[in-house]
Structure 1
Amino acid sequence: MLASGVHVRALLVCFLWPAAAQGWTEARPLTAEARVQVEADGKAIVSYRIVFEIEAGSFRGFTLSGMPEDARMDQAASRAIEGSGATRPLRIRQGTRQDRGSFWIDLEGEHGVGRGQLVVELAWATRVEIERTDEGTIYGWATPPWGHGLGMVSASLDLPFPAARVRSVLDSFSAPQMHAPTRAEPGDERPGTEGTDLRGSQTVTARDAQHSRVTVSRFRLPRWTSLGVRALVEKDEIAPSRQPAGVAAGSLPAKRSLAARAAPFAPVGVAALVVLLGALKRLGTRGVARRAGAIALDVLPALGAVPRLALAAALVAAGFALGAWRPGWAAPGTAAILLGALLCARRFGVAVGARAPGTWIDLCPEAVAERIRQDVRRRRRLASVLDATCPRGAVLLTLLAGAAVAAALRLPEDEARLALLLPVDALALLVPLFLTGTRRQLPPDLGALSARMLARHGRRARNLLARAGGGELSIIGREIGGGAIDELRLRLVPFKAPEGLGAIELCTEVWCRTPTLAVLIRTRAGTAAHRLIPRLRGVVERYRSKDGSSCVAIIVPGPDGHAGLLRDLRHALLLFASSAEPEVKPTTLAAA
C-alpha cells in the first residue's frame, strides 16, 4: 500500500512539474554567419545568424558571451525562426558589472522549441578596432566565442572603400588561443570540431565602385575560439565614400575636441542647472514658514566679507587655470567657478524681519478679488526680471547655454584658446544665479495667498454657516503702513451660539512654502463655549491670552486635506448651535 502511494505521488509530480524540469535540453550551434557594416569612423552594425541543432528537450534560450561592453542589441530586429517557418520574438538582457559582455537571449512565450533546427538572427551596434600603420588603416572585428565547437563560421566586413584599396590580412584570428594552423582540443568530441587543421578561405569582393566586402570563413572551429577578420585599407588619394569631399583619401575623421564631445550633454547640464536653482530656492525659503519673530536665512555658510571674497577669488582663479592649461579638466574648472561665484552672491544671505505692526479692519467683499488682481500684476512685474525658475528665466538660461555650446563647437583644436570657453560657460551658468534671488521667493506673500484661499473656500463656509442656523459673515484685513493689506480672513459669527463664543475665523497658514487653510475659534475662558472645545475635531493647538481671559483654538487640515477641515468646521458649527441657550419668547414673559 505504501509503495503504491509513492508511485501515485511520483506520477503526479511528473504531470504537474514544469516541462523545463522534467529533463535536460541538448542543443548545440552548427554554423554562425556574421556580416558587419562598417563606417569610416569605426561605427558598425552587426547582423549575426546562428543555426542550432536541438537534439533533446525543449530549447528556450542561450547565453552569448565574449561580447564588447559597448554593444547595444536591437531587440526589434532580432528574431528566431523555427523549422516550420514560424517566427518567435526574443527577449534580450545584458549583464551588469563584470558580466557586461554577456547577453541572455530567451524565446518569448511559455513553450520552448523541440527537436529540430532553429535559426536565430541577432543585430547589434558596436565599434570595430582601428589600427593605423604606414601602409594604411586596419579594420578588425572578431566573432563571439562559443562553448561548443562550430562546424562552419564566416565573418564579413562591408567597408566604404573601393576593392582596389582593400586586402585581407592573413591569419586574422583575434583570440589568443587561435592561430592558423591549429588543432581542436583533444577532449572536445562534439561533431563539427574533429579534424587536424582549420580549413577555410579569405576573399575580397567588390560590392560596387565605392564599397567592398572582406569575408573570412573557417570550418570545424574549436570551442571558446573567436574568428577574427582584419582588412587593410591602403592609402590613396581618393576619398572614401560617406566622407566629405574635402577629406583626404584614406584618412579617418579627426578626433573630436573636448567641447565637441561634451556638446550632446548640454541639455542634461541645463536641466541639472534648473534643478539646482529650484533646490536653492526651496532650501532658501524653508526657514520662512513662521510669520512672527526675526528669522535669519543663510543658504551658504556665514563667512566674513574678506574670507568670502578671498575664497571666491581663489576658486575662480583655480577654475580658469584648470580649464585653460588642462583641457581635460574643463568640467571641474567650471564647477570651481560656479562655487566661487556662489560665495560672492551676498543676496543669498538675507534676513527676514518680524511682521510690521498692523490693525484689523473690516473690508468689503470685493477686497478679495482686488487683492488677487494686485498679486497678478506684481507677478508680471517680477517675471520681467530674470529668474531661472520662471518661464522667461528658463528660456533665457537655455539661450545662454546654447550660445556657450555654439562657442565651444567653434573653438579650434588649439588648447590655448580653450580658455575662451570658460567665460562663456560662466556667463551662462552664473548670471541666472545672481539674478534669481528676487523678493519673489522670500518671504511668501501672505496677502495674496489668503485672498486665493478665501476665493476658493469662502462660499462653502458661507453655506455651512447657513445650515447651522445662519449668522454674520464678514471679511477682515490686516492693514499695515501705507494702507497695504498683508492678510485676509473670513469671520463667521453664528446666530445660534453658546455663551462666550466670540468668532470663528478662516485664515491661511504657510508651512514650508505650502499654504493651508486653518480655523481659529475664539472663546472666553470659563464659559460654555470654552467647555465645548475638547469636543471639537481637528484641534491641534490652544492659546491663552496673557491675562487668561480668552482662548484661541486652532483647527488644521488632517489627512483628508481641506475637505476634512470643512467637515470639522461643520461639526463645530452644529455643536455650537445645539448647545445654544433656547430663545425665550416675549409672550411667555408676559404670561408669567
Structure 2
Amino acid sequence: MSKSSVQSLFFPIGRWFALGALLAWPSVAHAWVETTLKSDNVWLEVDSSGMAKVRHEMLVRVRGGPLKEFVVDGVDADASPLPDASLVRAKSGAGAGHPIPLVPELDGTVLRLVINAKKGVSRGTFLFRFTYETNLANLGGISDRGGHAELQWTGPRFDQGLDSAKLVLSLPRAASAPSIPAANGADGRNEGVFLAQLRRSSERDTLEIVRPHVARGETVTWRAKVDPELFGFAPAVAPTPTPHLRSGVSRRAAMGEPSWRRLGALGASALVLAVMLWVKGRSVAVAAEQRGASARPLVRLPLWARALIGAWLAFAGGAVALELQLPALGAGLAVLYLLLASHLEPRLHPRLRGPGEWARQDPACLAQKSSIRSPGAWLDMGRWQGFLFFFAQAAGLLGLARIRFAVSPYEGIICGMGIALLLPIFCTGRATELPTEPGAGGLGLLRKCWQRVEGSEEVEAELLGRVSEAGAVPDELRIRLSPQRVHNGFQGIELAVENQMNGVGRVPLPVIILRVREGSACHQVLSKRLAWARGRTSEQRACLLRPALPDVESTIELLGRILDLVQDETSAGSGPRAVGAARSASRPQSASNSSMSAGSSSSQVNPASA
C-alpha cells in the first residue's frame, strides 16, 4: 500500500477524533435565562427618628434557567440588608414548597440576591422577599415644608417597567393623618398619578399608595405629607387646606372627621327622592284606579312609609359608602331601596260587561283619543316628559361624577352609580302597564287596517262595535269582512285586537276570527287545515288565527290567505288581492287557547266569545 493511500485512510478518522476530544473538554455551561418582573409590593416602616425598614415582595417569572441570582438596581445608598431574604414558588399550599434562602450581596446601589441552591431555580413564577434598613433622615428623605413635613423615598429602577407598583407606608400615629401631595404641587412637580387609601389605628397610620403604571427604566419617587411634629419640626401656625387626593379616601375621611357638606348634600338628595317616591306611588295608584285596577308595590307598605324608608335607605347607603368607606354595605342598602321603590304590574279587577249588541259604527270613532289622562307623566320613562326628566337627572349625576372623579375616583364612581336609584321610579309603574280603556285598545292598529280594506270592490268591510245595555259607548271594536263569492256555510271574518302583557307593557295584538257553519262545504274545505272550537251557537264553529308578526302588513297578508281559502272555486274574482294580500305562512291557533266567558273585562275579552 502506498503512503498516499494510508494518509487518505487515516486522515478522516483523525479529524473526527479531534472533534470528539474538543466536545469532551470540560467547560462552563451557559444557559438561556429570561426573567420578567410581574409586580413589586413595598412596605416602608418609618419611625420618628427617620430610620426605615424597607421590605420588598417581588413576583418574578423565570423562563429557561437555571437562575442563579436576581439583581435589584437602585436600592438606597446606605442600605443594610437583613439576613431574612428568601424565595418561594408562587403557589398555594404544599405546591409552594420550602422557602429557599437568598444571600444578599450589596455593591453600591446594586443588590444581588444569590440563590442559595445548588441548581438555582428554573421555569416558573417565584416570590422574592428581602428586607433592608436605611436612614431617610440622613439621605434627605424627610424635609420641613412649612406647615407640614414631606417624606420621600425613591424605589428601584426596573428595565422592563411595571403595570402597577404599590407602597405601604407605616408611620407612628400623629395628630394629622398622612396624605399624598397634589399631582401638580406648588413647586411644579408632576410625577404622575397616585392612588391612596388610609387606615388609622390607635398606634399607627398606614397609607397605601398605588402607582398605576411605571415606564421602562423609570424610578418612582414616593412622597407623603405627614405631621411635622412627628419628626421634630415646628407645628403649623394655622391649618393649611388639605389638597385634593387622587385616592379612594375623601379629604375629611383622611382627617378622621365626617364631611358635613357631603352629608348635607346626601340629605337634600334623600328629601328629593322621598318626594319623587311619594308622587310616583300616588300617581300609580290613581292611574290604576281609573282603569279598574289596583297598584301593586313590590313591598306592601303604606305610601308614606315607603317614601320615608326609601329616602333613609338612599341616604344611609351614600353615607356608608362615602364616609365609612364600606361600599359593600352601601350597595346592600341600595338594593333594599330598589326593592322598596319598585312597582309590579297592576292587578286587574274583572268587571262584568253585561249583555250587549253588535252594531255598525262610524269609522270616525277609530280616530278618537282616550278620555283618561293618566297622572305621573314626568316620572314615566315611557312618556316624553319622563324620558326628558330622567336623562336630565342622569346627565347631572354623570357631570357630578366626572368632577368628583378628578378629585377621587372612588367618589366619582359612587356618584355615577346614583343613577341606579332613579330606575325603579322611572321604569316601573308605567302607563303602558295599565289596562286599556274600554273600546280604546288597539285603535291605531284597527285604523290602519281599516284604511287598507275600506273601499274594496270584492270585499265588503264594516266597522262593528259592541254596545252594552248600560252604556252608549262601544266597549270593543272589530272590522268584519264579507267576501262576495265564498263557499256555502261561510259566516264571516272578523279582525279584532287583544291586549297582552310583555316586557314593555300592554301591547295590542291582532287576531282574525273565522266563522263557519258546522258540516258545511266551507267547513269541510277548511277542516283539514285549521283547528276549530264552538262558536256563538251550537251549529257555529270558530277559529282564531294570528299573524306571524303583529303588524299591519302581516295582518293583511293573513287576511288574503284566508280569503283565498274561503273563496268558491267556481268564482274568478280577485278578492284576496283586493285587500292587498300576499302569500305568507302563518300558524293557526285554536280558539280554545284563549277562551273566556262573555262577561270578561273588555281589556281581556276573547274575540271568539262575542
TM score, norm. by length of structure 1: 0.47
TM score, norm. by length of structure 2: 0.46
Report the structure number with the largest CA radius of gyration.
Answer: 2
